[in-house]
Structure 1
Amino acid sequence: MSLTSPRQFLLDLYASAVASVSAEKCLPAYLPQPSPKGRTLVIGAGKGAAAMAKVVEEHWQGALSGLVVTRYGHGADCTRIDVVEAAHPVPDEAGRNAAGRMLQMVQGLTADDLVLCLISGGGSSLLALPAEGITLEQKQAMNKALLKSGAAIDEMNCVRKHLSMIKGGRLALACAPARVVTLLISDVPGDDPGIVASGPTLPDPTTCADALAIVHKYGIEMPDSIRQHLESGAGETPKPDDPRFARNAHHVIATAQHALEAAAAAARAAGITPYILSDEIEGESRDVAQVHAAIARQVAQRGQPFSKPCVIISGGETTVMVRGKGRGGRNAEFLLSLAVALNGCEGVHAIACDTDGIDGSEDNAGALYAPDSLARAAQAGLRARAMLDDNDGYGFFDALGDLVTTGPTRTNVNDFRAVLIV
């Protein structure tokens, strides 16, 4: 790769990041040894769950069976582990039925049995089993409201845990007295395993009061059934001191930091100095973009705090407060805000993509920005700032032919951003 092709350079960085956190690369070393005296049951949920299940099938010595649920289009060809596809980010009937099947499947296990739980981002909506007295429709409405509110992922998952029959450690308790080993691909800033997919097999330190405070913080309306469920404490989750978790174990096998380090290594191999800002950046996408733009301008125009050529890399999970009616996930939103802030600054190129290959609910992973993006958009009659106000990053970059479309990657460590300054 040479500097004559910044677009390909950025695409190569993204590909390196995604490959580094694939189940094929990360999972085999974490498989429990030796095999248990009793049964081995595989369960799991998330955008990477089917790919993880396939790797288990390929490497496990001995009998196994099980069920995992993943997003539509993210399945894998498993022969011993059932794969169910369901809706994300708003749960559907398929996810609820899969969660019910999973709870039934783990009944009657013994202390000699092993439950291998495969968890990745997206599992919160895919493994949807509302608590007693709460309907799926009410859970769907709450999910939609949380997604539109701009709440951080830990806040959303706190609420989800306390409205569920399976999240927040309840699935692990249903497996008792079997030993539960959970392997996680983390999509949350800070890599707290209890937050990934709302921690179905991990104890939960948060409370119903915490969940209520989050709902009130964002002004989300809730039906009486949910209010009563939280106010009464009926939705309380099992806590870290619960002895039923004592024999269990968990391992975070892939993270955003792994992906950023792989991209940095690819940049160095191409002769470009990388700088990793952070693997856990949160906040409004458009605000995060303005900070990245300010750093890029300082590098481009003043050689501070880094000398060019260089590439600034970051990860984490930004959010979007939906105000308009346009299309686009948080990465397209980030990149359009970056474009507006840079205003054609010479020598700055960028990519922003979700590592799962799906930016929000669209069909693209993200998009690419170049110094001439705004000029090309103006020639096409596009008004960048107006499209940003309408949350239409998808429409903007689609018109320029600059969407990045990979299809599902079957892993998920959240956002990947790289800003190249030459």
Structure 2
Amino acid sequence: MANARNLSTSSEPLNPKTFLSSIFDAAVAAADAKLTIRGHLPQKPKGRTVVVGAGKGAAQMAVAFEKAWDGPIDGLVITRYGYSAPTERIEIVESAHPVPDEAGLMGSRRLLEKVAGLTDDDLVVALICGGGSALLPSPAPGISLADEIAVNQALLASGAPIAAMNTIRKHISTIKGGRLAAVAWPAKVVSLVVSDIPGDNLALVASGPTVPDTGSRADALAAIAAYGMKFPDAVMAHINSRAATAPDPADEKFARNEVYLIASASVSLEAAAADSRRQGIEAVILSDALEGEAREVGSVHAAIAREVATRNRPFTKPVLILSGGETTVTLRAKGKGGRNSEFLLAFAIGIDGLNGINALAADTDGIDGSESNAGAFCDGSTVARMRAVGVDAKAMLAGNNAWTAFKAVGDLFVTGPTGTNVNDLRAILVR
């Protein structure tokens, strides 16, 4: 843009937090359902159009679909408490995330009822985004809601990647792994998906209620063993039985169905990079699919930032270094925090004392873990500022207590619900 202020050469001082916040806003805006749904509308059916969905951005997707669709519809979508939006024809139900609750159980049953008994003249539009796995508890026969909650808690504490988690989840469910679409058959199901999965395997978003995949019971059992997970006896008995076998993607019930990716981390990172360049700072994207322990990924990012700051390689400063994906946290204690704040605390320790480095790590849905912040900011003075108020950064990291550490120095990043979810955004400014 011709009138954009070049922050790298302007005499006006750059406010790093303002700059990084604008980068986050650009990434989120690129995943706004109001902009993305209209280009993926299916053909109108001869019969009914039923809209279903789940995820932390599902209500906003429902609003966007209502505005774009000029035919009759009815439906139901499930979102997280506090994430609702005003709709006219599609009902919004709220339930718990990241640990399921009774409201989610009732909502899942209603979704299954909503698509039952349809004909091949009918159309089901599924609005799916991240967070749907927890919002759609629907335990298989012999498994209780309490059992599914115990599974979810064990998964969150395990450090397993999201793909492994969702492979396990679909094998104890009556709605995940394509089962919702199977109930809708012979109606055609068109899934519009906002991906929060590294690599954008759409069958793994929300554990794929309308999109089956090839992950097997053997894969689920291997993941349980690899990460030392302890599940209730009823859950293990079910996964070890043929009854847990998930639908086959080659089944004729899915032959007419269509799946569209309408927003992803890759698109949002490109938008963030473009916004940085518009403001006069060159940007590079490391990857949109980084996984691994949050603290370890944070340490690697810190090493890259140090190299740029001190040796001007592998990138020339000033530069904005971007990455996406979903890290994991293996819980070692009962502190407060999420994967983004844990990543950033390890990063802050890695750049301690270096000037000219500022960073933001945040979840694009607006919530990092179970607290009210999306993530946090840090710079080379963060660890020293923590120390000055009696906070030991390394001890906080060891205790999974990154939220407390950043709150102590006023560096939490709070946005509220954003209405979308394309996973984590990490933005590192080296001046």
Q: What is the TM-score when the length of structure 2 is the normalising length?
A: 0.96
Q: State the match for 2:38 in structure 1.
A: 28
Following the alignment from structure 2 to structure 1, what is the Cα–Cα distance between the partners of residues 162 and 304? 26
Q: Write the letter of the residue equivalent to 1:407.
A: G
Matches within 5 A, 1:189-208: 189-208=198-217
Contact 2:348 2:382 in 1 (8 A): yes
Displacement of 1:355 after TM fit?
A: 0.1
Which of 300, 310, 327 lines up with 1:301 in the alignment? 310
* Amino acid corresponding to residue 270 of structure 1 in structure 2: Q
The farther-off stretch of 21-30 and 256-265 is: 21-30
Q: Give the 3-state SS of the residue equivalent to 2:206 in structure 1.
A: helix
- One-letter code of the match for 1:335? L
Aligned counterpart for 1:356 among listed residues 329, 351, 365: 365
Question: Which is further off, 104-113 or 309-318?
Answer: 104-113
Give the whole-Å Cα distance in 1 for the aligned partners of 2:203 and 2:298: 28
> Where does structure 1 lack aligned partners over 5 or more consecutive residues?
none
Corresponding residue number in structure 2 for 1:178: 187
Equivalent in the alignment of 2:167: 158
Give TM-score scaled by structure 1 length: 0.98
Over aligned residues, Cα RMSD in angstroms? 1.0
The letter of the residue matching 2:235 is: I
Q: Whole-Å Cα distance in 1 between the matches of residues 170 and 14 of structure 2?
A: 49
CA distance in 2, matches of 1:47, 1:157: 16
CA distance in 1, matches of 2:383, 2:224: 39
Return the alpha-carbon distance in structure 2 between the equivalents of residues 6 and 16 of structure 1.
Answer: 15
Structure 1 counterpart SS, 2:105: helix
1:177-217 Cα offsets, whole Å, 9 max, x none, are 10000000000100000000000111220111211121122
Instruction: Decide which of 387, 405, 409 is 1:378's aligned counterpart.
Output: 387
2:64 to 34, 50, 55: 55
Q: Deviations over 1:245-288 (max 9, x none)?
A: 11100001000011100110010011111000000000001000
Moved more, 207-216 or 143-152: 207-216
Contact 2:193 2:202 in 1 (8 A): yes
Contact 2:194/2:263 (8 A) holds in 1: yes
SS of corresponding position for 1:420: strand
3-state SS, counterpart of residue 353 of structure 2: coil
Is 2:426 aligned against 1:414? no
- Aligned-pair distance for 1:320? 0.6
Verify: 1:115 aligned to 2:124, yes or no: yes
2:340 maps to 1:331: yes
Structure 1 CA distance for aligned equivalents of residues 131 and 235 of structure 2:
22
- Summarize the alignment of residues 2-401 of structure 1 with structure 2, pairs less than 5 Å apart: 2=7, 4-33=14-43, 35-401=44-410
Cα distance between partner residues in 2 of 1:377 and 1:212: 42
Over 3 Å off, 4+ runs: none
Instruction: Please list every run of 5 or more consecutive structure 2 residues that lacks an aligned counterpart in the other structure.
Output: 8-12
The one-letter code sitting in structure 2 at the alignment partner of 1:12 is S
Letter in 2 for 1:4: L
Secondary structure in 1 aligned to 2:280?
coil
Greater shift after overlay, 378-387 or 141-150?
A: 378-387
The secondary structure found in structure 1 opposite 2:289 is strand
Matched letter for residue 102 of structure 1:
L
